[in-house]
Amino acid sequence: MVLESLARIVKVQLPAYLKRLPLPESVGGFLRLTVSEWLRLLPFLGVLALLGYLAVRPFLPKKKQQKDSLINLKIQKENPKVVNEINIEDLCLTKAYCRCWRSKTFPVCDGSHNKHNELTGDNVGPLILKKKEV
Ligand code: FES
């Protein structure tokens, strides 16, 4: 029953619909179409545009995804790699180190992770180093 209906649509109704479409034979013919002819043509052109978009979409650049994957958005962007050294003797001075890459005092945490977490729903926080008491 379903296949019978599908076959009727593909073999009878679709060709009849396409035959009735006011498709001009030249580009200039589009300029001479009346409003009612354009209205009859619009669904067909919409389907063609959708199929074209779906066919091309896998090949479109995905810049937004690439930008979302960046971790470091602004710290020392002139350097190919950001590396920080901290002397072990200085660890007693600063205990919280940034892991969100949003700190204005990087690599030291300035609490910017709180705003980042609020805006994005993320849950990042600093690395806290503790000295064992002997
Ligand atoms: Fe980045 Fe706190 S500011 S972890």
Q: Does the C-beta of 103 come closer than 6 Å to ligand 1?
A: yes
Q: What is the pLDDT of residues 29-88, one digit of tens each?
A: 989 999 999 999 999 999 999 999 999 999 987 765 555 678 999 999 999 999 999 888
Marked catalytic residue, from 19, 81, 130, 132: 81
Q: What is the mean pLDDT of residues 102-122?
A: 94
Task: Spell out the domain ranges in the chain.
Answer: 1-59, 64-133
pLDDT recorded at residue 63? 61
Model confidence pTM above 0.85: no
Q: Which atom of ligand 1 is nearest to the CA of 114?
A: 2
pLDDT recorded at residue 104? 94
3-state secondary structure the chain: CHHHHHHHHHHHHHHHHHHHCCCCCCHHHHHCCCHHHHHHHHHHHHHHHHHHHHHHHHHCCCHHHHHHCCCCCCCCCCCCCCCCCCCHHHHHCCCEECCCCCCCCCCECCCHHHHHHHHHCCCCCCEECCCCCC
Q: Which fold has domain 64-133?
A: Ribosomal Protein L9; domain 1 (3.40.5)
Q: Does the C-beta of 99 come closer than 6 Å to ligand 1?
A: yes
| CA 106 – ligand 1 centroid, Å | 8
pLDDT recorded at residue 76? 93
Of 72, 84, 109, the residue with max ligand 1 atoms within 8 A of its CB, to mutate for a pocket test, comes to 109
pLDDT recorded at residue 129? 87
Would residue 74 show up in a list of annotated catalytic residues for this protein? no
